């Protein structure tokens, strides 16, 4: 079966203003709206479009985290995914650990294509897709803004500093996607109801044989410095003088 595997992550919704805990031990999550990482949502939308073009037969979504993550998996199923896999863990997973767990799922599901968001909006590491490609020993194409598939290869247009770059990679492969690839579809109520009947399998992280010990410890979380109050100037001369006083010119 021609199967696409899509990785998603539960993150604080991008519309929510992040607040740091008073003790600096992290960000406040109680009562905060959570959603699918925006880049991962774009990855899922692209997989759905590939299937709608008849180039795939099944889409499987996978996530890692506590029981609450099933809410985002149900959203992915409502968008159109066929099955969901939940790797259950309460630990914060580093990118390499996440890539190893995804590799276990790849070995099990044997997809011809793995699509991920280029990064998550909480960690901003942009590492998991690249690490997965190395572990899987398959080609990768990152930061995709356009994807075209044939039976044996993927032609990927990616955004680089100098403009656009086009790569052609053999399948199976790993693709990570950028914001301008597509616009995810809106989930309708009937689709949400149908998603409740779609299969969602839970896999204890211990059963996958991957060590989840963290190598990096966050010592303290601090909010960004408050912006200084702006100053109105009457003309260019006054602007230049204000900049000179600050040592900027």
Residue 148 pairs in a beta bridge with: 155
Beta strands in 113-238 (DSSP E): 113-117, 140-149, 153-160, 163-170, 173-177, 200-204
CA of residue 121 relative to chain centroid, distance = 8
Tell me the angle at which helices 38-52 and 70-79 cross, rounded to the nearest 10 degrees.
Answer: 30
Q: Supply the pLDDT for residue 230.
A: 81
Q: pLDDT grade, residue 229 (50/70/90)?
A: confident
Q: pLDDT grade, residue 45 (50/70/90)?
A: very high
Could you tell me the residue ranges of all domains in the chain?
3-245
Q: pLDDT grade, residue 217 (50/70/90)?
A: confident
CATH code of the domain made up of 3-245: 3.40.50.620
What lies within 8 Å, CB to CB, of 65 at 6+ separation is 9, 10, 86, 87, 88, 89, 90, 93
**CA distances, 115 to each of 33, 126, 169, 215, 225 (Å):** 25, 13, 14, 26, 36
Reported pTM: 0.87
The bridge status of strand 113-117 relative to strand 10-12 is unpaired
């Amino acid at each position: 079966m021609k199967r696409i595997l899509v990785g998603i992550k539960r993150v604080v919704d991008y519309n929510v203003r992040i607040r740091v805990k008073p003790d600096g031990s992290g960000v406040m999550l109680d009562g905060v709206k959570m959603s699918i990482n925006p880049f991962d949502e774009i990855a899922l939308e692209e997989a759905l479009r590939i299937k709608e073009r008849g180039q795939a037969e099944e889409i499987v979504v996978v996530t890692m985290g506590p029981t609450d993550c099933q809410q985002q998996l149900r959203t992915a199923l409502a968008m159109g995914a066929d099955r969901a896999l939940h790797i259950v863990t309460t630990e914060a997973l580093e990118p390499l650990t996440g890539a190893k767990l995804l590799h276990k799922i790849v070995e099990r599901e044997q997809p011809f294509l793995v699509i991920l968001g280029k990064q998550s909006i909480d960690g901003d590491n942009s590492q998991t897709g690249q690490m997965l490609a190395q572990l899987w020993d398959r080609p990768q194409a990152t930061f995709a803004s356009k994807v075209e598939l044939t039976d044996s290869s993927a032609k990927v247009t990616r955004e680089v500093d100098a403009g656009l770059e086009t790569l052609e990679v053999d399948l199976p492969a790993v693709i990570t996607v950028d914001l301008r690839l597509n616009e995810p579809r809106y989930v309708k109520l009937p689709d949400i109801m149908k998603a409740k009947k779609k299969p969602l399998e839970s896999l204890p992280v211990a059963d996958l044989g991957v060590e989840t010990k963290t190598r990096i410890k966050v010592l303290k979380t601090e909010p960004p410095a408050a912006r200084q109050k702006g100053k109105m100037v009457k003309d260019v001369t006054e602007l230049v003088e204000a900049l000179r006083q600050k040592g900027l010119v």
